Amino acid sequence: MFDDVRSEAFQQLHARVAEVARYGAAAAVLGWDQETFMPPKGQPARARQLRALAQLMHQRGTDPQVGKWLAQAEADMRSQGWDPDSDPARFLKVARREYDRATKVPTEWVAEFAQLTSEAKMHWQQARAQKDFTLFAPYLRRIVAMKRDYAAFFAPYDHVYDPLLDAFEPGMKTATVQQLFARLRTEQVALLKAILARPQVDDAFLYRPFPVAQQKAFVRWVLEHMGFDFEAGRLDESAHPFTTGFSVHDVRLTTRYNETDFFGQAFYSSLHEMGHGLYGQGVNPDYEETPLAGGASLGVHESQSRLWENLVGRSRPYLTWLLPHLRQAFPGVLDDVDLDAFYRGVNKVQPSLIRTEADEVTYNLHIMLRLDLEIALLEGSLDVDDLPEVWNRRMEEDLGVRPGNDAEGVLQDIHWAMGGLGYFPTYALGNVMSAQIWQAVRRDLPDLDAQMQAGRFADLLAWLREHIHRYGRKFEPLEVLRKATGQDLQAEPYLDYLRAKYGEIYGL
């Protein structure tokens, strides 16, 4: 679609960007394989391969020639008067942003960081298996130091955390996140307190045995039924569920199976990853291998995964549709569980240690803890060695539970080992956006509940495709949100959603 842009510089830039995107897709395949199928002894060679690709991509992407093409294409755009919201103009805008960011970072840093995080990931896995943070601490110390160097490349900044956050959530500021989080925190803590004063929900039936072979068949059937295209994607297994993609026509999801925790593991993590996957499959295919490919940000991506996992997947209408199918696929297992009990069970609120298993009310509190600790590490007010104790104390203060060991605490997530400081806030942003988007969906699809109850998701998916997915990275996260919802980012829809839903469930 960009072939008719009358700018030689644009076309040369386009070719280079496509070249780098192909290397990026190759690196993504290697990353996917590493988590799904790679035999353990393959790790050192894989780390070297990924380092080589990271270095190559940075070199080819920051080549001064790219800067010249970019400047010339921008001049062509001005002289030819392109519509600033046209695809080619937005192509240049995103390419400019990426080039300016990438050229601030030396290739040596990129290569060293790729190597360090590969090693760190291995040592994190070992540390986690042995429940001993001290095995991982030296790597985290180096990662924090390198991330501090990274922030310095972008000086001056308002907040040392800004450049890190901006890498995952373009345009987002630490101050904005902190303000939002303060508001969420007050309300979610109050809601949690009220819930904990009420009688507990019984969800023991969720942990009955569901044979793994049938779990696999059922999850695949559900995802296919809900709109995920298995001709253009897969669902595999990995220790930590994730989604990646090498093309809009090749999107890979993973999940994990546990016979006695079907819903906590395979079912809801698959719905979650499917949300990412539907976004990935829904981007305008003309954007393949351009700066407009991919999702607008991790926050917008998470809004999609959380929407399908929670706003859809934990809603009463959805469960009304699902329960009979579950009964059919797993004969006898849920015969004594009625819809109301099932709905309350999958929405049980209970402070817990593990973020990925947290309910909707407590989830954001896990994120806030991570944000505060990341900032303290970067600012140097918290030493890496003190992290486990500070983590555990904060868990006790915020959630009233204390990890029994580092694996249940500070070592639970892979993100720091991957070098992803700046990443966690996007999870809470995604939650907030998901409810705001859901409000807009409901306005446009007044009979959505009836549709979901009948197992019809095509209108919902079409709405998301039209208002969000197809744009890819053409618009910035908050632009996407405004276009889809007519409003700026705000906490109220999410808080309203939580209060209404959990107020009803817990009789508040």
Active-site residue list: 273
Other Cβ atoms less than 10 A from the Cβ of 173: the count is: 16
Contact status: 216 vs a copy of itself (CB under 8 A): no
Length of the chain: 508
Indicate the SS3 state at residue 157: coil
Report the SS3 class of residue 19: helix
- Near a copy of itself by CB under 8 A, which window of 19-27, 139-147, 412-420, 489-497? 19-27
**Amino acid in position 105:** V
Region binding a copy of itself by CB under 8 A among candidate stretches 42-50, 71-79, 82-90, 130-138: 42-50
CA pair distance 160, 203, nearest whole angstrom: 43
Strands of 243-247's sheet in order across: 233-237, 250-255, 243-247
CB of 222 to a copy of itself, least distance (A): 18
In the complex with a copy of itself, which residue's Cβ is closer, 18 or 462?
Answer: 18
8 A C-beta contact, residue 147 and residue 164: yes
Contacts of 71 (CB under 8 A, 6+ apart): 9
CB nearer a copy of itself, residue 153 or residue 230: 230
The correct pick among 2, 12, 19, 327 for binding a copy of itself (CB under 8 A) is: 19
d(CA 410, CA 416) in angstroms, rounded, equals 10
Site for a copy of itself in 382-421 (CB under 8 A): none
* DSSP run (H or E) holding 502: helix 492-506
Number of residues lying near a copy of itself (CB under 8 A):
38
From 1, 6, 8, 42, residue interacting with a copy of itself (rule: CB under 8 A): 42
- Using CB under 8 A as the binding rule, whether residue 286 contacts a copy of itself is answered as no
Q: Does 56 bind a copy of itself (CB under 8 A)?
A: yes
Return the residue of 288, 357, 479, 492 that touches a copy of itself, per CB under 8 A: 288
- By CB under 8 A, tell whether 2 contacts a copy of itself: no
The CA-atom distances, in angstroms, between 299 and each of 221, 296, 379 are: 28, 8, 24
CB of 287 to a copy of itself, least distance (A): 12
Give yes or no for residue 46 binding a copy of itself (CB under 8 A).
yes
Instruction: Return d(Cα 24, Cα 187) in angstroms, integer.
Output: 41
Distance CA 114, CA 337 (A): 49
Considering the rule CB under 8 A, would residue 249 count as an interface residue with a copy of itself? yes
Closest CA relative to residue 487, chosen from 448, 432, 409 = 432
Among 62, 125, 247, 412, binds a copy of itself (CB under 8 A): 247
Residues 327-339 as b or e (16 or more Cβ within 10 Å = b): eebbeebbeebee
Report if residue 492 touches a copy of itself, rule: CB under 8 A: no
Strands 243-247 and 250-255: antiparallel
Q: Minimum Å distance from CB 64 to a copy of itself? A: 19
Please choose, out of 100-108, 223-231, 344-352, 445-453, the segment that lies near a copy of itself by the rule CB under 8 A. Answer: 223-231
Q: Which of 41, 199, 331, 507 binds a copy of itself (CB under 8 A)?
A: 41
Q: Is 271 in the site for a copy of itself (CB under 8 A)?
A: no
332 near a copy of itself, judged by CB under 8 A: no
Closest CA to 241 of 415, 36, 46: 36
State which residue, 19 or 132, has the beta carbon closest to a copy of itself: 19
Q: How many whole angstroms separate alpha carbon 207 and alpha carbon 188?
A: 27
Quick check: 49 binds a copy of itself (CB under 8 A)?
Answer: yes
Q: Which of 2, 23, 109, 154 binds a copy of itself (CB under 8 A)?
A: 23
**Is there a contact between 294 and 277 (Cβ–Cβ < 8 Å)?**
no
Whole-angstrom Cα Rg for the chain: 23
Instruction: Give the residues lining the site for a copy of itself (CB under 8 A).
Output: 18-19, 22-23, 25-27, 29-30, 33, 37-42, 44-46, 48-49, 51-53, 56, 229-234, 236, 246-247, 249-250, 288-289
